[in-house]
Amino acid sequence: MRAFNYDIPTKVYFGEGKIKHLPDLIKQFGNKVLLTYGGGSIKRNGIYDEVQDLLKGCKIFELSGIDPNPRIETVREGAKICKENDIDVILAVGGGSTIDCSKVIAAAAKYDGDAWDLVMDGSLITDALPLVDILTLSATGTEMNFNAVITNFDVKMKQGTASKHLYPYASILDPTYTYTVPANQTAAGTADIMSHTIENYFQAEDNAFITDGLSESILRATIKYLPIALEDPENYEARSNLMWASTVALNGLTSMGKGGGWTTHPIEHYLSAYYDITHAVGLAILTPRWMRYILSNKTVDRFARYANKVWDIEETDDKFAMAEEAIEKTYQFFVDNGLPMTLPEVGIETDEHFEEMAKGPAERLSRAYVPLNPEDVVEILNRCMTE
Ligand code: NZQ
Ligand code: ZN
């Protein structure tokens, strides 16, 4: 196992009704609140009214309309509201896009230059407003991590930034708030959870027994509970397990004692930056193709373990057969749960940008579990064009 530090300051309030803690969490910071949210789902499902009720007495400013794949322009707008009105605390209510956008707003509110500087270089973040969030979609893990991903279409970049100042102060995780997440977003969110886990699971260190066991447990939970959540959207057991899986998959625990770079995420961020597709749909399409591409004598043991521990495939001497079956099951799981599995299905009809896109993540992919060069990426993307 590699050495590590683990230091996450975020307070987690998990379970039905935990919103009751909201007034105390917010009011300790002051009276002026910036409430951020997306396209209106929180108005339709009643969370907006609940928040307004609980925060009576606070002066609430609003930034709504935060898009999936949040834009730098929205960050700038939010930072301006914070600076002009001397906001005390930000309350983000929504999925990863709303929370990520709010994280960078919180930092940009304390920064004199342009917010995009902070996305390009997290070390420039030296302070941030406190951020409390109410998560409404199980997917990204942003509720308990220090990352934020922002898109700048002007320069065709979707870029992650990170800083210890970006941890939410507190996250309210009430699984009942995810009952209204539509089927396609539920499936996509689960693919994101799986991808975060898989990115950490497929790494060079094979002796991080506890960490790998946790990853296997998360993957088994997603495989068990996604179909239940789709069939019965108000199933608390399914929604609560998916919600906690989302948090644990990317709050650092699945990488403790391990290390190395990721693969499908760096590639997917370029797909989203060029085509504005749903993050996790891109991941679902890429993951099985990437797995097949890197299967070799060097990686087959890890795949065989994945096959046995995650998919219950019987152990045999033919580890390649086990690996192939596990990759096929991964692919089929996404298909069975309604995810589009080719790029043309999400509107990417030609390979015209593949070579250009493949250059973007080159540096990161040189540090991946199996390092990839731009030609490898183009080949993987080409394989995503057909079933
Ligand atoms: O905008 P509203 O109206 O709220 O609708 C949203 C949006 O259309 C809807 N939704 C959310 N909660 C709902 C709901 N609809 C009904 N009922 C609810 N309870 O779902 C749609 C998608 O929301 P979004 O926030 O975009 O999804 P997600 O949570 O998957 O976030 C995706 C973003 O997070 C980034 C992605 O790249 C993408 O930009 N990521 C952030 C990470 C991090 N900070 O650590 C890591 C991830 O790998 C990822 O890159
Ligand atoms: Zn992701």
The domain that holds 142 is classified in CATH as 3.40.50.1970
Number of the ligand 1 atom closest to the C-alpha atom of 68: 26
Q: How far apart are CA 149 and CA 151, in angstroms?
A: 7
**In a shared domain, residues 167 and 219:** no
pLDDT at 259: 83
**In a shared domain, residues 217 and 133:** no
**In a shared domain, residues 239 and 316:** yes
Shortest-distance Cα residue to atom 49 of ligand 1: 140
Q: How far is the CA of 366 from the centre of ligand 1 (A)?
A: 29
Q: Where are the alpha helices (DSSP H) in 295-348?
A: 300-311, 319-336
pLDDT at 204: 81
Q: How far is the CA of 269 from the centre of ligand 1 (A)?
A: 14
Q: Is 21 exposed, middle or buried (0-12, 13-18, 19+ CB in 10 A)?
A: middle
Ligand 1 pocket: which of 62, 99, 100 to mutate (most atoms within 8 A of CB): 100
- Mean pLDDT (the chain) is 97
pLDDT tens column, 237-290: 999 999 999 999 999 999 999 988 999 999 999 999 999 999 999 999 999 999
* CATH number of the domain that residue 236 is part of: 1.20.1090.10
Total tally of structural domains belonging to the chain: 2
In a domain, 92, yes or no: yes
**In a shared domain, residues 196 and 212:** yes
Shortest-distance Cα residue to atom 34 of ligand 1: 96
In a domain, 6, yes or no: no
Q: Nearest bound ligand to CA 137?
A: 1
Ligand 1 pocket: which of 51, 133, 135, 137 to mutate (most atoms within 8 A of CB): 137
**In a shared domain, residues 278 and 378:** yes
Q: How far apart are CA 256 and CA 200, in angstroms?
A: 9
In a domain, 1, yes or no: no
**In a shared domain, residues 73 and 168:** yes
**In a shared domain, residues 110 and 40:** yes
DSSP codes, 135-185: E-SSSS-GGGSSEEEEEEGGGTEEEEEE-GGGS-SEEEE-GGGGTTS-HHH
If one compares 205 and 224, the residue with the highest pLDDT of the two is: 224
Q: Nearest bound ligand to CA 98?
A: 1
Q: How far apart are CA 191 and CA 337, in angstroms?
A: 10
pLDDT at 37: 98
Task: Please give all residues whose beta carbon lies within 6 A of any atom in ligand 1, as ranges.
Answer: 38-42, 45, 68-69, 94-98, 100, 136-137, 139-142, 145, 147-149, 177-178, 180-181, 185, 189, 192, 250, 265, 279-280
In a domain, 5, yes or no: no
**In a shared domain, residues 211 and 328:** yes
Query: Can you read off the two tokens belonging to residue 105?
Result: 């707003």
Which of 145, 162, 177 terminates a domain? The answer is 177
**In a shared domain, residues 320 and 375:** yes
Q: How far apart are CA 31 and CA 88, in angstroms?
A: 7
pTM value is 0.98
pLDDT tens column, 153-165: 999 999 999 999 9
**In a shared domain, residues 194 and 295:** yes
Ligand 1 pocket: which of 19, 36, 146, 149 to mutate (most atoms within 8 A of CB): 149
In a domain, 308, yes or no: yes
pLDDT tens column, 38-88: 999 999 999 999 999 999 999 999 999 999 999 999 999 999 999 999 999
* Per-residue pLDDT at 207 exceeds 90: no
Which of 177, 212, 234 terminates a domain? The answer is 177
Report, as an integer, the average pLDDT of 336-344.
Answer: 98
ipTM of the complex: 0.99
In a domain, 138, yes or no: yes
Ligand 1 pocket: which of 105, 185, 199, 276 to mutate (most atoms within 8 A of CB): 185
Query: Can you read off the two tokens belonging to residue 134?
Result: 């109410």
Which of 144, 177, 210 terminates a domain? The answer is 177
pLDDT at 206: 72
Q: Which domain holds residue 341?
A: 183-384
Q: How far is the CA of 279 from the centre of ligand 1 (A)?
A: 9
In the chain, beta strands by DSSP E: 11-14, 32-36, 59-63, 89-94, 131-135, 147-152, 157-162, 170-173
Shortest-distance Cα residue to atom 39 of ligand 1: 69
In a domain, 134, yes or no: yes
Q: Do 131 and 102 form a contact (C-beta atoms < 8 A)?
A: yes
**In a shared domain, residues 146 and 169:** yes
**In a shared domain, residues 112 and 212:** no
